[in-house]
Amino acid sequence: MVAEAAVDVVPLEHANAVELASTLRELLDASQRAIRWRGCALPLPGQENAVDRGSWGPTCPELQVVAIPRTNSLLLTVESETDRMRMRELIARLDEDAGRPR
């Protein structure tokens, strides 16, 4: 079953949308390269040399971050509710006022 991607607009209060989107994309790219997002898109046993990725394991969930500079917001596209909540939590943490003590 293929999940339908949900799109959220996440307004930012302190962070710059363009810079945060870039940081999040770098994080997602590094994460996917390092662990292939919870084992997705890895070849099934015996299919390691397959050119057709359809013979590989489950595909990576769709997750995209795009900056909307005009409104200083992020456009977040995710397939799972769990990933949506995790990304919104991370964005909220990165959007904190840098001058505020923790």
Map tokens 């099934």 to a residue: 44
User: Is 55:41 a contact under the CB 8 Å cutoff?
Assistant: no
The CATH number corresponding to 6-34+60-94 among 3.30.1370.120, 3.30.70.1050, 3.40.50.970, 3.30.70.1070 equals: 3.30.1370.120
Query: Would the pTM count as exceeding 0.85?
Result: no
**Residue 86 to residue 101: CA distance in whole angstroms:** 23
Would residue 98 be called left, alpha or beta, if left means φ above 0 and alpha means ψ between -120 and 50 degrees? alpha
pLDDT of amino acid 90: 92
Q: What is the pLDDT of residues 14-32, one digit of tens each?
A: 999 999 999 998 888 776 6
**18 is written with which tokens?**
């363009």
Q: Work out the pLDDT band at 56, boundaries 50, 70, 90.
A: very low
